[in-house]
Amino acid sequence: MKKILVILIALTALAACKTSEANYRAAYERAAGARDGADPLEGTIYGASRRYTPQATVTLNGDTALERTIRVKVTDEGGGIRESLKPFSVVVGGFKQLFNARSMRERLADNGYSSAFVVETGEPYYYIILSSYPNRAEAMSALSAAREATLPVPMKGEYPFILYCPR
């Protein structure tokens, strides 16, 4: 009799914990509602890094651009060499995944932007450099041209911007 009672209690407990489609749907809707309108990077180390990255709005010859100061290095197999990276660069994209950054760089190179290359931060976060220059004036001129050009890749939100990489 005791065994039957234990079995009945166990079956009741299992039936009460059974998941249902309604439970999955409710959990999905809560998660989807929480992320709507939120920056997917905001809660990550990348979001924290971006929040504390020194940046300024720079105006030169009537043109205004966002300039960020970030220490980066040229990524292995990212299309560039160490000498490619000058103090001021035009950044047209950024990714958490190296594969995506390399893919964007390859699309740029295939469409006439052979000087494009990938750099990485310490987190790592990967930026795609369209071109790099020894001074701010040349970088601002290239940034203006990039804004007006029809690039083979979409630039979203904060892109393009000037990357200042102190030596």
Which contiguous run of DSSP H or E holds residue 102?
Answer: helix 98-110
Q: What ranges make up the beta strands (E) of 3-48? A: none
Report whether 127 contacts 161 (CB < 8 A). Answer: no
- Per-residue pLDDT in tens (0 to 9) along the chain, 167 residues: 677 766 767 666 655 555 666 666 666 666 665 555 555 555 666 566 666 677 777 777 777 788 899 999 999 888 888 899 999 999 999 999 999 999 999 999 999 999 999 999 988 899 999 999 999 999 999 999 888 888 888 878 889 999 999 87
What pLDDT score was predicted for residue 74? 94
Assigned token pair, 58: 């720079």
Report whether 86 contacts 158 (CB < 8 A). Answer: no
Q: Name the residue among 81, 74, 54 with its Cα closest to residue 161.
A: 54
What pLDDT score was predicted for residue 47? 62
How far, in Å, CA of 53 to CA of 51, rounded? 6
What pLDDT score was predicted for residue 8? 65
The overall longest dimension of the chain from CA atoms, in Å, is 92
Assigned token pair, 69: 């100061």
Boundaries of every domain in the chain: 2-35, 45-164
Report whether 104 contacts 152 (CB < 8 A). Answer: no
Q: Which amino acid is at 40?
A: P
How far, in Å, CA of 144 to CA of 123, rounded? 29
What pLDDT score was predicted for residue 135? 94
Give this prediction's pTM: 0.69
Q: Is residue 163 classed exposed, middle or buried when 0-12, 13-18 and 19+ CB atoms within 10 A define those classes?
A: buried
What pLDDT score was predicted for residue 166? 83
